[in-house]
Amino acid sequence: MPVPPLCLGFAETQFLSITAMVADAMTKVANVRLLGLEPTGSERILIRIAADAPADIQTALDIAEETAARLGSTVTTTLLANPDEAIPALNAGPLTFNKLYGGRDELRPADHQPNLKTTMKNSSEALGILETQGLTAILEATDAMLKAANVKLVGKEKIGAAYVTVIIRGDVAAVKAAIDAGQRAGAPLGKIIAAHVIARPHEDLAALLPG
């Protein structure tokens, strides 16, 4: 008996900081697998998920819309219950970096974690995500975050249009304190797009991050 194809779901929202929050919520609410995040070169990013059943995809897409609305963002979603076999191949190529802005063209678990292992040292750790428009602001903010609390730097991602995100990890209280300090330090130098703390991030999301 042939194996039925995986159902696919797509949610396209704004900014990496908000996208990470939306993706985390999607993976926690439904039995779906986070395939990756795909920047468009502007502020919009596509979240790709897969599941065995369309109902699981739809549940995840519903929570994506709710979470994006709560964060003040827009989102476009679609469900492919029986995708053509060529669709997954669109994202099956090797890791590439965009020469224009220096960021990854896709964020996929296998790019940094060949065995799909999380970068998080402990499942109780939180992630802090601070996104600015402008490198000067993010550098000042990152320095402030690392000095303000006992947190570790996970890495930096660029998605184009001068949007830069820095990710930190640590216990929830430390991450909150660091993110607050980062916002204060970066605000005079550039536009703070978003700043969020994700307590106990889903391992699928953590596996997409640099490390």
Same domain, 21 and 82: yes
Tell me the pLDDT band of 114, cut-offs 50, 70 and 90. very low
pLDDT over 90, % of the chain: 72
Local structure of residue 104 (DSSP, 8 states): B
Same domain as 23, residue 99 = yes
Instruction: Say which residues have a Cβ less than 8 Å from residue 176's Cβ, sequence separation at least 6.
Output: 126, 128, 197
Q: Give domain status of residue 211, yes or no.
A: no
**Structural domain that includes position 163:** 126-206
pLDDT at 3 over 60: no
Give the residue from 211, 206, 98, 94 showing the smallest Cα distance to 158. 98
pLDDT of residue 55: 96
Task: Indicate whether 95 belongs to any domain.
Answer: yes
The verdict on 102 and 131 lying in the same domain is no
Please report where in the chains the tokens 């990496």 appear, as a residue.
Answer: 16
Asked whether residue 17 falls in the same domain as residue 78, the answer is: yes
Token match 């993010």: residue? 138
